[in-house]
Amino acid sequence: FRLTAADKTDLTPGAEIKADLFKEGEIVDVTGTTIGKGFAGTMKRHNFAGGYASHGNSLSHRAPGSIGQRQTPGRVFKGRRMSGHMGVQRRTTENLRVVQVDLERNLLLIRGAVPGAPGGQVIVRPSLKAARRATRKITTPAKSGGAPKQAAKAAPAKAAPAKAAPAKDAPKKLKLVNGSGALQVSEAAFGHKFNEPLVHQVLTAYRAAGRAGTKAQKSRAEVSGGGRKPYAQKGTGQARAGSNRSPLWIGGGKTFAAKPRDFTQKVNRKMYRGAIRSMLSELARTERLLVTDGIKLEAPKTKLLAQQLKAWELPSVLIVVEASDEKLALAARNLPHVEVIEVPALNPLSLAAYDKVLMTVGAVKLIEERLQ
């Protein structure tokens, strides 16, 4: 233990120093002598990878390599990463916390990696870095010259939001495109925060499920022919070959032949509903989700629907209806950036594929019932 002239203390010559110098929760630095490990090789001492396990290596799996550790020069160079004595070195572990102060036995309970063997001597002192952080002043430049003023106190940390909590800026109404006013919607379906990892996982699963998985190639064993050795082993000047159906030959089999496989991933009901809620809430928050009382067409004509969507400024739109409408389906099937879908068939891929989503009032009510 050591005190300097700058340290402010009430200690006098001859006073007894005990563990009460430190308090519970104080940050300290501990210095000690590490445990001796004896003579260690480079793999243990310096985390070398070692030699190959095969390809003719049978004696030097843990050898250090060509760094001159045998007859030339036959010794360990100082400062180089070589084999040698490991441990018994002075080390300091910083920023450890004092958990308990035992005054009866004059002991300190410190949490962390205290250097040294059990029963060894250590030096405990207040943390230097913690003291610097505590005394460091946070200043901001003055507005009109002069000395800088002290910055405002840091705002208290915000509590972690509850799981699946509605967003603060969640919209409570959706705009009607064919009339003035808005439609009141439920926060349970349209007021959640955007969960990007969940949406990405569900979208990936839907795309993977759409793969046919029918790709098939022939391996060397499945290609016809190749049973006879094409030429003699020696004397031709060419590389040795045992079959003309080797993957190295033209017309040979594929090295790692692809086979039909199933790419589907499991998406349970909770994940699906969570992704739909998240996407609908984000669409409503970014004003990309619109509502209509209904799309009335006199005839199943593409021209009529295109004119109606142009008037609403919807060049790329997903139309969600509560029940099948034959006129609307026939009018929209020839438009490249328009899709009509019913509520039971609503999926994340369709919601992400279009710029905006247009729902009927009945579809909104049905979605709210399904996502309650």
Q: Residue 179: pLDDT band by 50, 70, 90 thresholds?
A: low
Which helix (H) or strand (E) segment holds residue 365: the answer is: helix 361-370
Q: Kindly give the interhelix angle for 269-285 and 196-209, rounded to the nearest 10 degrees.
A: 120
Q: Under 8 Å CB-to-CB from 36, ≥6 apart: which residues?
A: 85, 86, 87, 88, 117
Looking at domain 164-215+243-372, its CATH architecture is 3-Layer(aba) Sandwich (3.40)
Q: Which residues of the chain does CATH 2.40.30.10 include?
A: 14-50+84-136
Distance separating alpha carbons of residues 146 and 85, to the nearest angstrom:
59
Amino acid letter at 48? Answer: F
Spatial distance between the Cα atoms of 349 and 366, rounded to a whole number of angstroms: 20
Question: What pLDDT is recorded for position 154?
Answer: 43
How far apart are alpha carbons 160 and 163 in whole angstroms? 9
pLDDT at 181: 74
Would you tell me which CATH number, out of the four given (2.40.30.10, 3.90.1150.10, 3.30.300.90, 2.60.40.3880), belongs to the domain 14-50+84-136? 2.40.30.10
Q: Is the pLDDT of residue 203 over 80?
A: yes
Residue 140: pLDDT band with limits 50, 70, 90:
very low
3-state secondary structure of 116: coil
pLDDT reported for residue 167: 55
- The mean pLDDT of 183-191, rounded to a whole number, is 83
Structure tokens at 325: 């409408």
CATH 3.40.1370.10 in the chain, residue ranges: 164-215+243-372
H or E stretch covering 107: strand 107-111
Task: Give the model's pLDDT for residue 116.
Answer: 92
pTM score over 0.85: no
pLDDT number for residue 172: 64
> C-alpha angle 333/190/289, rounded to 5°?
35
pLDDT-based confidence at residue 135 (cuts at 50, 70, 90): low
Q: Which residues pair with 123 in a beta bridge?
A: 31
Mean pLDDT of 344-368: 91
In whole angstroms, what is the distance from residue 367 CA to residue 372 CA? Answer: 9
**Beta-carbon neighbour count of residue 214 at 10 Å?**
9
Stretch 226-230: mean pLDDT, rounded?
Answer: 90
DSSP 218: -
Asked if 20 contacts 28 with a C-beta cutoff of 8 angstroms, the reply is no
- Which residues, at least 6 apart from 355, have a Cβ–Cβ distance to it below 8 Å? 288, 315, 316, 317
For the chain, the average pLDDT equals 84
User: For a pLDDT cut of 70, what percent of the chain falls above it?
Assistant: 84
Q: Is 156 exposed, middle or buried (0-12, 13-18, 19+ CB in 10 A)?
A: exposed
pLDDT at 123 over 80: yes
Helix, strand, coil percentages (3-state) for the chain, rounded to 5, are 25, 20, 60
The pLDDT of 40-66, averaged and rounded, is: 87
